[in-house]
């Protein structure tokens, strides 16, 4: 461990400067959800690809319905149906109409669409509310229809290319693919798309005292919670997470476990074993894994000017130089460290434009002043009220207060140079969303 | 189709009053992420379960280190190591110390912990920075240690139960399980937890004109985008979604496809075929599926006072009365309908306390007034700037403008009684997040 004390910002910058976005791959549309597009996608064919009807009604020639009214309807011969997806379009001649459905191509000869509600629907009676199903009343596709209103040219016609034109930029590289973007890509016919994949994050906790939840505790043992919380947090950040669970405090076991996991890891996260104790297995196992001939390889263990979360490790491991973040073992320390360092790393691997949680300024609502050690950036758990712009501390500063963490929705940040924050003062909060 | 025009609010209320949260099941912790807890979880054993050290250092008796300084250190006999997870604790007698690691149980006889930095670490030299790994330097667990500072009783000791006490409420029924809540449940030993599961949502689009993206378009055909966009949106809302894809406009095919899917559906969503045309297959296939003896069974097709999204169907189908929402087929209509009706239904099935998207008031930033039909609630696509509190329309009002939808991040709401909104006026926006 170097004797330098790192600032939070320097440690984060060191991590982000070393992380490269994952290489893009071609994915099926549904698998690309939440991923970042790496290509400019242009429109291959205009949308809509043909002039089509925006209503259920009749495709007509404008001159045939000029001056039509309910009293003096235009009487047209129905020459057939044009349904969406139908091919072999009929040509609408003078005095004729084709029954047409929403989205169906405007047939040749027709100049406008009159909605079915502007007609008698072929019933010979008053204005129609709807059409009868074609399967049950095939006779409605022939006979006569009375049109009660005139229509302007192109009325109720959606023009070819009115949504997008061939050659238009549909989505730019860097776009995050949410449901509407997936919809647009499908609409222009893209079955696959080139994106950065979700990173595979392997989470393992270390500690001979750790027991799997659901098992029975012996004396001196506690339950492993870090691997569960951080695997969930990694998934929440957009990763595919693999929870290895607790590894005993034995350097050889840890090294071989990590080597085993490298095959499925784009990022490794460990908890525990990074401090100054005689059983700090992560430090012992990984402090010497670097290849001396390979700049940047190996894991560097550091002290950070922060609370909680002082001891941290970062570097890369294995033949692919897989990044590894070694977090402290206290549950609150490891969770805060995850939020500050691992989440941005995951989002950088995804190529996301913004890797950080949103922050806000809020008024401290507390009974007494918050105290913070000089020279350290402190992260306290808080409950944020966005309406009132206020934040209240939840639980104390102790790094083992996992119950308080579960009732917080933000981190209150007390800067390095501040040792006391009075109630009513403004503070920065990191919103955990 | 009934002739009544339904308001947006009445249709939504009708849906939400019919949807019951899914029955809870016991899930492994990782599978419960994002789900709603249905039990009050109490703490079975105190956290931490035993007094333990918050530092790497030496467990000592207070009297033995009283008045210690670097010049006049207290010299203690090291009787062994207490590592986290070790059993068979040594008893610390007068003049003795046990080397202790963070998280390890305070051994009997010891009253406080002095951090390793307050000692010579057994080196016989100056203040120590850290301990040597136990495996490499086993001799450090014996011999003598010089302590340079006194310690108060309980110094650097985390008391049993200081986080939570046995019997405390850890999490209340209704809590949504995010990473910190998963961590707390693991920490108190819960391997499984009782939650409402994620709903399984089956999405199918209808239309003989629809072609799978990646295939070639023939004349009059378009690509199926709704099933892709809505399956993604359902997943985004918290559901497990199944995309069936496009079904041709044939009532018998549609009925049998839906019957096939019922086995894996907690909710069915269809698009298209709900309007007044002669080929509106969803309406034709489902208008008569209800059991007359069974109140509330069957699908009701309605006209809503909204734009886009006027024609809608809602009801239940099959032996389990699986809820079904039949949305219109235009991509923007179906997406807006999903946001307004299906997303709340999914979240109600999950038992989430808040089923709605967040909304905001914003100033309309536009070149000209927005116009809206009288008596209809209009939903326009917008780009919201939260910093400036402004929203700008994106694209036009046409319901086929799927490209504009992909560049929007909110819906601008124009109320039923408003026919024009001037630039600079306040509007409600639904944030699509």
**CA angle (A49 as vertex; A44, A53 as ends), nearest 5:** 160
- The yes/no answer to whether this complex scores an ipTM above 0.90 is yes
Q: Which of B221, B276, B283, B278 is nearest to B246 (CA)?
A: B221
Q: Does A66 touch chain B (CB under 8 A)?
A: no
Residues 6+ apart with CB under 8 A from A32: A177, A182, A193, A195
Distance CA B165, CA B174 (A): 22
Alpha carbon separation from A259 to A203, A284, A320, A321, B209 (Å, rounded) = 13, 15, 11, 12, 53
Taking the CA of residue B1 and the nearest CA in chain A, the distance in Å comes to 9
Burial grade of A92 (CB within 10 A; 0-12, 13-18, 19 or more): buried
Which of chain A's residues have a Cβ under 8 Å away from the Cβ of B221? 49, 85
CATH superfamily of A52-158: Molybdopterin biosynthesis moea protein, domain 3. (2.170.190.11)
Measured between beta carbons, which residues in chain A are less than 8 angstroms from residue B235?
33
What is the rounded average pLDDT of the residues B101-129?
92
Would you call A269 helix, strand, or coil by DSSP? strand
CB contact under 8 A, A220 and B330: no
Residue A172 forms contact with B (CB below 8 Å): no
Fold of A25-48+174-196: Molybdopterin biosynthesis moea protein, domain 2 (3.90.105)
Report residue A232 CA to chain centroid gap: 15
- Is residue B120 less than 8 Å (CB to CB) from chain A? no
* Residue B110 token pair: 């010891």
A343 neighbors A391 (Cβ within 8 angstroms): no
Contact A104 B209 (CB under 8 A): yes
State both tokens at A358.
């949103």
Closest Cβ–Cβ partner in A86, A129, A278 for B140: A278
Q: How high is the pLDDT of residue B135?
A: 83
CB distance B183–A403 less than 8 Å? no
Q: Are B427 and B412 in contact (CB under 8 A)?
A: yes
Q: Does B392 touch chain A (CB under 8 A)?
A: no
Instruction: Using pLDDT thresholds of 50, 70 and 90, give the confidence band for residue B416.
Output: very high
Measured distance CA(A309)–CA(B141) in Å, rounded: 27
Q: Which of A63, A175, A168, A59 is nearest to A118 (CA)?
A: A59
Q: Between chains, do B400 and A224 touch, taking CB under 8 Å as contact?
A: no
Q: Where are the domains of chain A?
A: 5-22+198-349, 25-48+174-196, 52-158, 359-431
What is residue B335's predicted lDDT score, i.e. its pLDDT? 96
Rounded Cα distance between A276 and B127, Å, is: 13
Kindly determine whether residue A133 and residue B284, on different chains, have CB atoms separated by under 8 Å: yes
Q: Which of residues 299-318 of B touch A (CB under 8 A)?
A: none
Does the pLDDT of residue A398 top 70, yes or no?
Answer: no
- Residue B13 C-alpha from the chain's centroid: 24
Asked if A401's CB is within 8 angstroms of B213's CB, the reply is no
Least confident piece of the model among A43-57, B332-346, B385-399: B385-399
Nearest alpha-carbon partner for A142 in A111, A106, A107, A96 = A96
Q: Is the pLDDT reported for residue A383 higher than 90? A: yes
Which residues partner with B160 through β-bridges? none
pLDDT per position as a tens digit, A350-374 = 999 899 999 999 999 999 999 999 9
CA distances to A114, A273, A334, B178 from A280, rounded to whole Å, are 79, 4, 15, 29
Closest C-alpha among A294, A237, A231 to residue A261: A231
A102 has a chain B CB within 8 A of its CB: yes
- A163 and B190 within 8 Å at the Cβ level: the answer is no
- Comparing A121-130, A384-393, B217-226, B294-303, the range with the smallest average pLDDT is B294-303
Collapsed DSSP state (helix, strand, coil) of residue B249: coil
**CB A394, CB A404: distance < 8 Å:** yes
Cα B400 to the center of its chain, rounded Å: 31
- A30, A101, A181 member nearest B406 (Cβ): A181
> Is A400 close to B163, i.e. CB distance below 8 A?
yes
Residue at token pair 């104390």: A396
Q: What is B34-48+162-196's CATH number?
A: 3.90.105.10
Identify the three-state secondary structure at position A227: helix
Statement: residue B292 has pLDDT above 70: no
Sheet holding B192-196, edge to edge: B25-28, B192-196, B36-37
Q: Which helix (H) or strand (E) holds B157?
A: strand B157-158
Residue A390: pLDDT band (50, 70, 90) is very high
How many Cβ atoms sit within 10 Å of the Cβ of residue A420? 11
Q: Rounded to a whole number, what is the distance in Å from the CA of A42 to chain B's nearest CA?
A: 11
How many residues are listed for chain A in this entry?
433
Cβ separation of A232 and B400 shorter than 8 Å?
Answer: no
Confidence check: pLDDT of B1 > 60 = no
- When CB atoms are compared, the residue of B50, B162, B278 closest to A99 is B278
Q: Which two tokens stand for residue B251?
A: 């009532």
Handedness of CA B4, B9, B11, B13 (dihedral sign): negative
| The pair of three-digit structure tokens given for residue A354, joined into one six-digit string | 């913004």
Nearest CA distance, A397 vs chain B (angstrom):
11
Helix (H, G, I), strand (E, B) or coil at B221: coil
Residue A281 tokens read as 């297995």
In this predicted model, which residue has the larger pLDDT, B400 or A383?
A383
Q: Cα–Cα distance between B6 and B270 in angstroms, integer?
A: 20
Mean pLDDT of A404-427: 95
Of B129, B130, B213, the CB nearest to A190: B213
- Mutation target to probe the B interface, by most B beta carbons within 10 A, among A48, A53, A57, A102 is A102
Strands A192-196 and A240-247, how do they pair? unpaired
Q: Do A231 and B329 touch (CB under 8 A)?
A: no
Nearest to A37 by CA among A194, A180, A185: A194
pLDDT at B173: 97
Say what percent of chain A tops pLDDT 90: 81
Q: How far is A224 from chain B (nearest CA, A)?
A: 6
User: DSSP E strands: which ranges in B219-293?
Assistant: 222-223, 240-247, 267-271
Q: How many CA atoms lie within 13 A of A302 on its CB side?
A: 23
Among A288, A296, A305, smallest CA distance to A19 is for: A296
Spell out the CATH class of B5-22+198-349: alpha beta
Please, which residues 278-297 of chain A have a Cβ atom closer than 8 Å to chain B?
278-280, 284
Whether A228 sits inside 8 A of B29 (CB atoms) is yes
Interface touch A278/B141, C-beta < 8 Å: yes
Tens-place pLDDT, residues A420-433: 999 999 999 999 97
Distance from CA of A96 to the nearest CA of B (A): 19
Measure A93 CA to nearest chain B CA, in Å: 20
As given in the structure block, the two tokens for residue B106 are: 């305070």
- Residue A121 touches partner B, C-beta closer than 8 Å: no
Q: Which CATH number fits domain B359-431: 3.90.550.10, 2.40.340.10, 3.30.430.20, 1.20.120.420?
A: 2.40.340.10
């Amino acid at each position: 461990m170097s004797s330098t004390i790192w600032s939070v910002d320097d440690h984060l910058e060191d991590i982000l400067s070393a992380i490269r976005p994952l290489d893009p791959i071609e994915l099926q549309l549904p698998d690309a959800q939440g991923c970042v597009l790496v290509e400019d996608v242009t429109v291959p064919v205009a949308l809509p690809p043909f002039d089509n009807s925006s209503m259920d009604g009749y495709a007509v020639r404008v001159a045939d319905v000029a001056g039509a009214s309910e009293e003096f309807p235009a009487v047209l011969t129905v020459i057939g149906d044009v349904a969406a997806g139908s091919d072999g379009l009929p040509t609408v001649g003078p005095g004729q109409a084709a029954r047409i459905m929403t989205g169906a191509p405007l047939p040749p000869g027709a100049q406008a669409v009159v909605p079915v509600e502007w007609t008698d629907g072929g019933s010979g009676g008053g204005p129609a509310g709807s059409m009868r199903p074609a399967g049950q009343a095939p006779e409605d596709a022939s006979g006569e229809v009375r049109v009660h209103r005139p229509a302007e040219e192109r009325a109720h016609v959606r023009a070819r290319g009115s949504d997008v034109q061939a050659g238009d930029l549909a989505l730019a590289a860097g776009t995050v693919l949410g449901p509407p973007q997936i919809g647009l890509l499908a609409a222009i016919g893209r079955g696959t798309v080139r994106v950065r994949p979700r990173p595979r994050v392997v989470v393992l906790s270390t500690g001979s005292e750790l027991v799997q939840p659901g098992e029975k505790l012996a004396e001196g043992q506690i339950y492993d919670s870090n691997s569960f919380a951080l695997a969930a947090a990694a998934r929440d950040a957009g990763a595919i997470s693999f929870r290895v669970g607790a590894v005993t405090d034995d350097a050889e076991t840890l090294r071989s476990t990590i080597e085993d996991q490298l095959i499925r890891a784009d990022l490794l996260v460990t908890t525990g074993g990074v401090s100054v104790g005689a059983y700090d297995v992560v430090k012992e196992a990984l402090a010497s894994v670097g290849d001396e001939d390979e700049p940047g390889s190996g894991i560097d263990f550091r002290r950070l000017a922060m609370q909680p979360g002082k001891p941290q490790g970062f570097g890369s491991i294995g033949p692919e130089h897989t990044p590894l973040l070694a977090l402290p073992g206290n549950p609150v320390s490891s969770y805060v460290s995850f939020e500050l360092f691992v989440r941005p790393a995951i989002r950088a691997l995804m190529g996301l434009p913004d890797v950080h949680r949103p922050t806000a300024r809020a008024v401290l609502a507390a009974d007494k002043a918050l105290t913070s050690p000089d020279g350290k950036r402190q992260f306290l758990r808080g409950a944020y009220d966005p309406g009132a712009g206020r934040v209240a501390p939840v639980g104390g500063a102790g790094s083992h207060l996992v119950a308080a963490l579960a009732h917080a929705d933000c981190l209150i940040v007390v800067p390095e140079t501040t040792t006391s924050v009075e109630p009513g003062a403004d503070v920065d909060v990191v919103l955990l969303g």
